[in-house]
Amino acid sequence: MLNEKMQKQINDQINAEFWSGYLYLSMSAWFTQHNLPGFANWMYVQYQEEFSHGMKMFRYIHERGGDVTLKPIAKVDTNWKSPVAILEQTLKHEQKVTSLIHALMDTAHEIRDYASINFLNWYVDEQVEEEAHAEELLSTVKMIEKDQAAMYALDKELSTRVFVDATLNNED
Task: State how far the Cα of 14 lies from the Cα of 160, in Å rounded to an integer.
Answer: 28
pLDDT of residue 169: 67
Angle of helix 148-158 relative to helix 37-63, nearest 10 degrees, comes to: 40
Task: State how far the Cα of 9 lies from the Cα of 53, in Å rounded to an integer.
Answer: 15
Average pLDDT over residues 167-172: 63
Is pLDDT of 154 > 60? Answer: yes
Is pLDDT of 172 > 70? Answer: no
- Least Cα distance to 54 among 16, 26, 22, 27 occurs for 16
pLDDT of residue 99: 98
Overall pTM surpassing 0.75 (yes/no) = yes
**pLDDT tens digits, residue range 48-106?**
999 999 999 999 999 999 999 999 999 999 999 999 999 999 999 999 999 999 999 99
- Least Cα distance to 7 among 75, 67, 56 occurs for 67
Is pLDDT of 170 > 60? Answer: no
Compute, in degrees rounded to 10, the torsion defined by CA atoms 169, 43, 26, 147.
170
Distances from the Cα of 53 to the Cα of 36, 48, 156, angstroms = 26, 9, 27
- Contact between 67 and 61 under an 8 Å Cβ cutoff? The reply is yes
pLDDT of residue 168: 85
How many residues in the chain? 172
Is 64 in a helix, a strand, or coil?
Answer: coil
Domains of the chain in start order, with CATH, are: 4-162 (1.20.1260.10)
**pLDDT tens digits, residue range 12-58?**
999 999 999 999 999 999 999 999 999 999 999 999 999 999 999 99
